[in-house]
Chains A and B, each alone.
Chain A
């Protein structure tokens, strides 16, 4: 038991989610190890993004959503009534499908998380912003333009800025919802390289439509279909020798 407590960063047990009467997730159970990259794959509408958003309770924002089961981070149930959801989300960074920098300067985008935490020390903010931008492999490209609008950056740069913004407050988990799907191949390669680097410090969960991408960057892969977790295993195994036929069919492109 003690061993299990240490082994997993994120866990879901019998998690079901309903949009009104429509069930989007069916009894999903999964355990995600720390400092790893886990990819969620599956056809559109299979619930993988919805599931990702259970880990930082972003589904709370949608009216009519009902959730049963448990989601645990570091063995604390995050749907417990005593959880302060705002404080909790600070421990979980999120990167979205479309780059969504704030219409502020590059510096202020990265400083956002610190500022909402009430940090006022200029030197601390300055240092955290620099660190985050280094970490997100963006520093060299923007160091002379920190006070220019983030909207002037290219799409790939904007997405790395969003990663820098997310990691500036040092969360332990990074959720990525198709972070490269709106980017060109070169920017995508940079993001993938970055994910590889970030694994050292964060537990990363990434939703992707791109199966080559899942195979390249992830340690473990979970295949979702119609709201169910069909198969979850090491990425090598999923892509070379899946145990379920529907996984086999999906990764070989027979449907989806």
Chain B
């Protein structure tokens, strides 16, 4: 009768330990398989000419230059649009707006927006920017769409970073006779800069990988020129990859794998920078 209950706390601890380890191993295994698969398929194709070549009908001559150029143009305009609006909105909500029920409703809805599927933003962008505003299938229309997509993430991350600044610092500043803006600009923002930057980088690395909204707003699959202005048509690396994977020739599938490697490199790089900055800032503001 009693035997079952005799499993000691120590044993339970061990069982849970093993279980947790298995879960972790499972996730890592999937990741490793994915990487291995991509690397085996695509690594041989990654070379300088793959990066600087224009797209072509022949897979072995095809490159990602226009896709990269499109991706960077998109990111540039997305950041230019989303950053100031997102950060200023977060500052307003956290430091200026009254702390009432309306503020709570706004806060909850911004968090909700951060969870809306990206295709919805694509449809919104198509209606609003491509059609109504008449921007067409341009970089600007796509950047505005991506900016809408990452703005909630920027606002949430910035607010969290600002919230983490202890009130004692604000009091010190007000006690010195600083105005609200002086307190925000000279004390709160510098103290939360690391957190804000981390949020921005993570949101940008999300924007890099987005495919669905770009398809909806009309990114082109085949662009043999690099964009020269915000009103030009464009393609982007995820679109290029998506396009290649749907082609029947084996060569294009290899190209897609190689493109994924490049895309992953950028995402890892951005996330790495974000982690580095976070650690650096954490040390600076706590030691």
Q: Interface residues, chain A, CB within 8 Å of chain B?
A: 56, 58, 61, 63, 86-94, 96, 98, 100-104, 112-113, 115-117, 149, 151-152, 162, 165-166, 169
A61 to B172, CA, bound (A): 12
Contact status B287-A152, CB under 8 Å = yes
Contact status A116-B190, CB under 8 Å = no
In the complex with contacts A63-B99, A112-B186, A116-B186, A100-B287 CB distance below 8 A:
no
Contact status B190-A89, CB under 8 Å = no
Q: Which residues of A contact B285 (CB under 8 A)?
A: 103, 151
Give the contacting residue for B169; candidates A63, A100, A113, A152; CB below 8 A: A100
B60 contacts chain A at the CB level, 8 A cutoff: no
Residue of B nearest to A91 (CB): B177
Q: Which residues of B contact A87 (CB under 8 A)?
A: 177
In the complex with contacts A100-B168, A102-B169, A103-B285, A94-B175 CB distance below 8 A:
yes
A92 to B285, CA, bound (A): 27
Contact status B174-A116, CB under 8 Å = no
B11 contacts chain A at the CB level, 8 A cutoff: no
Contact status B176-A169, CB under 8 Å = yes
Contact status B286-A151, CB under 8 Å = yes
Residue of A nearest to B183 (CB): A116
| Selected A-B contacts with CB under 8 Å, 8 pairs | A88-B177, A89-B175, A96-B172, A103-B190, A113-B177, A115-B186, A152-B287, A165-B172
Could you tell me the distance in whole angstroms from the C-beta of A92 to the nearest C-beta in chain B? 8
A61 to B170, CA, bound (A): 10
B212 contacts chain A at the CB level, 8 A cutoff: no
Contact status B186-A100, CB under 8 Å = no
Other A-B pairs beyond A86-B179, A104-B190, 19, CB < 8 Å = A61-B174, A63-B99, A90-B176, A90-B177, A92-B175, A94-B175, A96-B168, A96-B175, A98-B168, A100-B168, A102-B169, A102-B173, A103-B284, A103-B285, A112-B186, A113-B177, A116-B176, A116-B179, A116-B186
Select the residue from A58, A94, A101 with max chain B CB neighbours within 10 A: A94
A87 to B182, CA, bound (A): 13
Give the contacting residue for B177; candidates A89, A100, A152; CB below 8 A: A89
Q: Which residues of A contact B190 (CB under 8 A)?
A: 103-104
Contact status A116-B172, CB under 8 Å = no
Contact status A102-B179, CB under 8 Å = no
Select the residue from B173, B175, B186, B284 with max chain A CB neighbours within 10 A: B175
A104 to B186, CA, bound (A): 10
Contact status A166-B175, CB under 8 Å = yes
Contact status B168-A86, CB under 8 Å = no
B191 contacts chain A at the CB level, 8 A cutoff: yes
B171 contacts chain A at the CB level, 8 A cutoff: yes
B178 contacts chain A at the CB level, 8 A cutoff: yes
A31 to B178, CA, bound (A): 27
B229 contacts chain A at the CB level, 8 A cutoff: no
Residue of B nearest to A97 (CB): B168
Could you tell me the distance in whole angstroms from the C-beta of A150 to the nearest C-beta in chain B? 11
Could you tell me the distance in whole angstroms from the C-beta of B177 to the nearest C-beta in chain A? 3
Residue of A nearest to B285 (CB): A103
Q: Which residues of A contact B182 (CB under 8 A)?
A: 116
Contact status B178-A86, CB under 8 Å = yes
Contact status A102-B177, CB under 8 Å = no
Q: Which residues of A contact B284 (CB under 8 A)?
A: 103, 149, 151
How does the 8 Å CB contact mask read for B105-121 relative to A, with 1 for contact and 0 for none? 00000000000000000
Q: Which residues of A contact B171 (CB under 8 A)?
A: 58, 61, 94, 96, 100
B187 contacts chain A at the CB level, 8 A cutoff: yes
Contact status B191-A102, CB under 8 Å = yes
A61 to B168, CA, bound (A): 12
B248 contacts chain A at the CB level, 8 A cutoff: no
How does the 8 Å CB contact mask read for B78-111 relative to A, with 1 for contact and 0 for none? 0000000000000000000011000000000000
